[in-house]
Copies of this chain bind each other. A is one copy, B any other.
Amino acid sequence: RRHKNINFSDRGMNLEQMINESNKYYRTKEIAVVHKKPTPVQIVKVDYPKRSRAVIKEAYFRQESTTDYNGVYKGYYLDFEAKETKNKTNFPLKNFHEHQIIHLAECLKQKGICFTIIGFTSLKRYFVTPASAIIKAWWTKDKSSLTLKEVEDWSIEIKSGFQPTLPYLKAIDSFISDRKIHDDK
């Protein structure tokens, strides 16, 4: 009640920070275990100074072969990529890399729950979109972006809140129900 007029979606966090904070909440509450994968780095040279911890002196960024996040929720494998745009009307598909699209498709084949979280940061609107829709659009010739309308139609919108900051598992619950209905047919 005290928090009524505070806009919790406006704490200066970017999408990744919102997701990381939500994952921390979910993990602490034993609701789900989802981690961000570390940036892959090829380490070439390491110094081991006396009485002090190892320092990496030469390393290079490696090509990522997966998405940003994966984890487990109610026995389901979750895999997703988070992307944000300042654009107010379109989400440019070039935000996704081919290896991410391929990875999502591979995980879908293994019956993972695969999706993206798209943030229209200027609008403060956040969408959980099934990977299948993104994969299809990505491979569509001459299609360079999704319109906001398409994202609205294909996704479940998530309102940012207090705890968790971005309650994206609500959307996943609805994906799971859909899947159960589908599996029971």
Q: Which of B55, B73, B111 contacts A75 (CB 8 A)?
A: B111
A70 & B73 in contact (Cβ 8 Å cutoff) = no
Given the contacts A79-B72, A106-B30, A111-B75, A39 and B41 also touching, CB distance less than 8 Å: yes
Interface string of A102-129 (1 = CB under 8 A from B): 0100110111100000000000000000
Q: Which of B38, B41, B110 contacts A74 (CB 8 A)?
A: B110
A14, CB-defined interface residue at 8 Å: no
A33 & B103 in contact (Cβ 8 Å cutoff) = yes
A58, CB-defined interface residue at 8 Å: yes
B110 & A75 in contact (Cβ 8 Å cutoff) = yes
Interface residues of A (CB under 8 A from B): 27, 30, 32-33, 35, 37-41, 43, 53-62, 65-66, 70-79, 103, 106-107, 109-112
